Amino acid sequence: MGDLAVRRVVIENAYITPVVGEEIPCGHIVVEGDRIAAVGPGPAAAVPEGADRVDGSGCLATPGLVNTHHHLYQWAAQGVMPDGTLFEWLMASYRLWARLDAEVVSGAATAGLAWLAKSGCTTSTDHHYVFPRGRGDLFEAEIDAARRVGLRFHPCRGSMDRGRSQGGLPPDDVVEDADEILRATEEAIQKFHDPSFGSMLRVGVAPCSPFSVSGDLMIRSAELARSHGVRLHTHIAETADEDEHCREQFGMLPVEYLDGLGWLGPDVWLAHCVHLTDKDVRRFAETGTGVAHCPSSNGRLGAGIARVADLLRAGAPVGLGVDGAASSEMTPLAGEIRMAMLMQRARYGPSALTARRALELATIGGAGCLGRAAEIGSLEAGKLADIALWRLGGFHAAIDDPVVAFAYGQTPPLARLLVGGRTVVEDGELRTVSDAAAAEAGARAHRRLLGAA
Ligand SMILES: [Zn+2]
C-alpha cells in the first residue's frame, strides 16, 4: 500500500450504475487514495493534480464484483468426474485433494484470483478446508497469492473432522482433529485478520458441510468466530443427497440442523441453499443469514435451482459466487450474473430476476454477505474505490441499455478494474501479475498435483 498517497484516478464520460442511487448516463468518478472522492453527472468539478485520467466514453462503470464462495485450490483439480453427482464427484476428488501442498495452493490461488479479476471481481472470499499434515502453510500461501494479484480477500479457515468411520463422507485420512482445527483457526485469525475500514484481508471460520463436520465442531467453531468478531461460513442444502444424509444421521433437514446448532444469524453466510423449505426461507430472512448463490456449480452438479427469487422477496441477503473451479471449471464471476438471471427465470418466469437486480446481488448483495456493505458494493463518495469499467463498444454497441448489454450476452471486456484505487486490470490484461505468469502458475499447480497422485 506504499503508493496509496499517489493514487488519483478520474473516470469521465461513462455510463455509471452506482447500484445504490440513480444511474448516471454520462458522468464522472474521482478516486483519491483508496476511496471514491466524488461521483456525479458531467465532467469532474476538480481533477486532482497528476491524476490518471480515464476516458470512459462507451463504457459502463459498476461497482467491483464480490465473490462470496470459492475454493481456490480447486484450480489444480478441474475436470474430475465431469458428469457425477456432488457425492460421486467428492468421492473421486478427495484422493486428489489429499495430495495438496503449499506450492499447489499458491499456483492454483494465483490463477484463480487472476481469473476472478479478469471477470470484474474486486473482493473474493475463499473457503479452504483440506489441510494434509506436513505440507506447509496452505492458508498463508493463498493469502500471499491474493496480495500479489491485488484483490481484497476474505479467506475462510475451513475444516473437516468427520471421516467415514464417524458416519461422514470423506476418507479418514483427509480429516483433522477438532482441537487442532480450532487451534489453527484461532492462530489464523490472530495472524491475518484486519477488521479496519478498507481492510484488504479478513478471515472467516468455515467448517465444510454437515456430512464432513461433527456437530461439536460446528458449535465450537461458532463460539470461536463470535469471540473474535469474525464471520461464519459453510455449505448447506446443496443437493437432495444431503437432505437424505441429514434425515438419516440427524433426523432432520439441513437448515433445521444448522438452526439448532446456533448457525443462523447476521454474521453467517451460507453457500448454495438450493433445497429450502418455506420455513427455511423465512428463517434466513428473520435472522439476516446470507446466501452465496452459485448457479453454474449448481448446474454442473445437477444440484437444482436455488430459491433466490423467494429469498429476495422474503428479504434475505443474497450474493453470488463461482464456487471452486473443480465444480465450475473456470466460471467467470461476471458470467454468474447472467446465469443467475436465466436460471431464476427458467424456474419462476421472466420477471423473477432483472439484470439490475442480478447486478445488485453481485455487488451490494455480496458485500452484505461479507459484512462490508458500508465499505464496498456501490459507487458512492466515501466508499472504497473498487470499480469495474466495462467497454461496451463493438458487438455490444447494438444494445441501447448498457446494463442489458452487460448482463444478457457475453460479458464485455474490462477497460479498467480498480481495487482501492489501484489498477489491477487495464484493457483486459492484468497489471499486477502478468496474464501469462498467472496462467502458467495454475497449469504448474495442476501438473504438480497430478504428478504427486
Ligand atoms: Zn463450495
* Distance between Cα 49 and ligand 1 center (Å): 45
* Distance between Cα 158 and ligand 1 center (Å): 11
Strand-pairing partners, residue 15, are: 60
* Distance between Cα 354 and ligand 1 center (Å): 25
* Distance between Cα 146 and ligand 1 center (Å): 19
* Distance between Cα 322 and ligand 1 center (Å): 9
Name 33's Cβ contacts closer than 8 Å, sequence gap at least 6.
4, 5, 7, 385, 421
CA-CA distance, 306 to 308, in Å (whole number)? Answer: 6
* Distance between Cα 97 and ligand 1 center (Å): 14
* Distance between Cα 186 and ligand 1 center (Å): 22
In 227-374, the DSSP E strands lie at 231-236, 268-272, 290-293, 318-320
Cα–Cα separations (whole angstroms), residue 281 to 139, 273, 291, 340, 438: 33, 9, 10, 18, 40
State how beta strands 387-391 and 414-419 pair: antiparallel
DSSP 384: B
Q: Which residues lie near ion ligand 1 (Cβ < 5 Å)?
A: 323
* Distance between Cα 370 and ligand 1 center (Å): 16
Q: Report pLDDT for 1.
A: 41
CA-CA distance, 192 to 204, in Å (whole number)? Answer: 10
Long-range contact pairs involving 189-194 (C-beta distance under 8 Å, separation at least 24): 189/157, 189/228, 189/230, 192/139, 192/140, 192/143, 192/155, 193/228, 193/230
* Distance between Cα 103 and ligand 1 center (Å): 21
* Distance between Cα 295 and ligand 1 center (Å): 12
CA-CA distance, 229 to 90, in Å (whole number)? Answer: 32
Please list the ranges in the chain whose pLDDT falls under 50. 1-2, 4-5, 453
* Distance between Cα 303 and ligand 1 center (Å): 12
* Distance between Cα 328 and ligand 1 center (Å): 10
* Distance between Cα 126 and ligand 1 center (Å): 9
Q: Report pLDDT for 2.
A: 44
User: Smallest Cα–Cα separation from 447: which of 137, 106, 105, 104?
Assistant: 104
* Distance between Cα 209 and ligand 1 center (Å): 9
- pLDDT, tens digit, 9 for 90 and up, residues 320-331: 999 999 999 989
DSSP 185: H
* Distance between Cα 326 and ligand 1 center (Å): 9
Name 435's Cβ contacts closer than 8 Å, sequence gap at least 6.
114, 118, 429
* Distance between Cα 400 and ligand 1 center (Å): 36
- The amino acid occupying position 147 is R
* Distance between Cα 129 and ligand 1 center (Å): 10
